[in-house]
Amino acid sequence: MSEMLKNKVVVITGAGRGIGRDMALLMAAEGAKVVVNDLGGAIDGTGADLTPAQEVVSEIRKNGGEAVANGDSVAEWESAQRIVATALDNFGRIDCVVNNAGILRDRIFHKMTPEDFDAVMKVHLYGAFYISQAAAPHFRKQESGSYIHFTSTSGLIGNTGQANYAAAKLGIAALSKSIAMDMAMYNVRSNCIAPFAWSRLIGSIPTDTPEQRARVEKIKGMTPAKIAPVAAFLASDAAKEVTGQILAVRGNEIFLMSQSRPIRQIHLSTGWTPQTVAEIMLPAFKSAFYPLEKTSDVFRWDPM
């Protein structure tokens, strides 16, 4: 290994399984000291078990690396502070935060409850804010640091039955960009990864239709280990010029995702009325309207 992350201290949330586990193992192999955070709950966020985090720590140590386990929830301010404190108490500093923890409570929109929406927002969006904010004073003081947030094409593009998850994940993309802008003066970077990979959460996707079954079968071939190299790069000094970006990773493919910009413009010197909007703006813009596409409609080809 090149040890791109030698002496870096990395906090990875949701690192007991799936993508988080593979990131922890690779970053430790690259020389990082890793805080393996995982509540160890069920897919919907209920329950807790430190065993998954401890197992990853044991594997890292067996391979000669340094790691500690933490079982705090990202969804509360006080526990997020404890997660960051675990890095400081054990390793004396913090260099990178990976906001990977997540849950799913998929429902078609008209059946989604406030509890379903709130629980997903708390873990994904609030959790990313809490952990990032807890690390910010330390990054600012040392004038260095890297945030890696996990977004999703469910928010960037769209998927059915995931209004809560999509809203949280698109919010994370905006949060990352704001952090990148606000913290740039302190040499702190913030980027997003949108992963395509088989995981415990993806395994909960309904397979009631042939389309859903085909989608899940394709995802099964994309292992979480494919995501880890991009995350390790973003955590390293080699990525010092990369901030405010969104990278999607699908198998052996890496995509730089677009960010919202104007694509059409029209003006009327006399100002607008509802009638002229309908008569002039609508036909001018209609051909450029975005269709109601799902992720699978945009990524039409098989993973490479």
Would you please indicate which residues are annotated as catalytic (active-site) residues? 165
Query: CA-CA-CA-CA torsion for 194, 201, 235, 79, nearest 10 degrees?
Result: 120
State how beta strands 188-196 and 145-150 pair.
parallel
Which pair of tokens denotes residue 10?
Answer: 């990395």
The alpha carbons of the chain give a radius of gyration, in whole angstroms, of: 20
Is the sign of the CA dihedral 130, 231, 56, 31 positive or negative?
A: negative
228: Cβ–Cβ under 8 A, 6 or more apart, which residues? 19, 22, 23, 25, 26, 27
281: Cβ–Cβ under 8 A, 6 or more apart, which residues? 266, 272
d(CA 230, CA 169) in angstroms, rounded, equals: 19
d(CA 241, CA 225) in angstroms, rounded, equals: 24
Q: Is 93 exposed, middle or buried (0-12, 13-18, 19+ CB in 10 A)?
A: middle
Give the number of other CB atoms < 10 A from CB of residue 30: 22
| Cα angle: 279, vertex 285, 289; to 5 degrees | 130
